[in-house]
Amino acid sequence: MLAPDFKTELVNAAPILRQLIQSFTKHRILVVGDLTLDEFLTGQVERISREAPVPIIRHEGTKQVPGGAANAIYNLAKLGASAIAVGIVGDDMQGEALRQIFAEANIDTAGFIVDPSRPTVTKTRISAHARQSVTQQIVRVDRKSDALPNEAVQAQLADFIEANLDRVDAVVCSDYGEGVMMPSAIATALKHSLTIVDAQKDLHRYQGATIFTPNLPEAELALGYQIGDRFDKAARDLLALTNAKQILITRGEDGMSLFGQDGTAANIPAFNRTEVFDVTGAGDTVVAALTLALAEGATYWQAAVLGNLAASIVVRQFGTTTTTAMEMLTALEHLISEF
């Protein structure tokens, strides 16, 4: 149940929230980060192999979807925005598959830097089922490089970001720790006046970004201690660590906590607790809606509410997925009608 005070705030804010959602198509956003292809191979177990005690799976289908930073970019496009993708792909089929997925969504891939010495980061999940049984994941195979990009590739990334800063309304740094977010790329991205950082670790490298969006484990990793009920202290420490204007900690079924350098704080409850099937990629959805709202001039609270609303839709579906502005408008009306 939503607290009465929050219900009143939400109802009062509904007109501007509707306007913000309807403005998503106006904006162009640059996302720099670790582009990933998520593959899902499924099939039926026919028998156990005579060669080894492993199941033999008859292939039924393969699905390829954007993952990592690519999922944040895809979310922006599905919400109606113009998105520019910046990152590294290999000279391989996986990189071409990701390029094709983006082309079909009208996403600008001019910022794809091809590095033949590295594979496109790919996470292949192999799942199987017996007859009349549920499908379960058996193994995941990751393709990636542990080496840092060479200096020429790093320079290409920074140069492309620099050349496009004046063309975009915001820059998102989507850092999954796969080597794209090196110091030169970070420093160039932070030149924009509206920078959103979604990083799994090393938040201190993004000094002075507009807003960070760590989930609770990422916030605790950055702080070096468990937060528990010490959110005020955690907020002060995170703001000091990053020199950010705002910190938004996403907390799953406990909603979100928003803190500002000016001492403001707000808790936003989860809008959907009963129909949560899969939280995979929900953080990227939060970032996409939050960024578009801020680009339109929303307050941080309004932007966080819309990020929360978007996430409440995608967690109802299995796997990495997206939502649309129309679905968000419908979900907002449904939420308000419950009061």
Whether 193 and 270 have beta carbons less than 8 Å apart is answered as no
With a CB cutoff of 8 Å and minimum separation 6, the contacts of 129 are 42, 44, 45, 135, 136
CA–CA separation, 161 and 86 (whole Å): 8
- For residue 195, give both structure tokens: 């920078």
CA–CA separation, 300 and 255 (whole Å): 15
The residue from 34, 115, 175, 284 that is catalytic is 284
Whether 40 and 95 have beta carbons less than 8 Å apart is answered as no
Whether 332 and 18 have beta carbons less than 8 Å apart is answered as yes
CA–CA separation, 167 and 203 (whole Å): 26
Output the CA–CA distances (angstroms, integers) from residue 58 to 45, 48, 53, 100, 137, in the order listed. Answer: 6, 12, 16, 27, 14
In the three-class reduction of DSSP (H, G, I as helix; E, B as strand; rest coil), residue 178 is classed as coil
Q: For residue 254, indicate whether it is catalytic.
A: no
CA–CA separation, 37 and 119 (whole Å): 11
Catalytic residues: 284
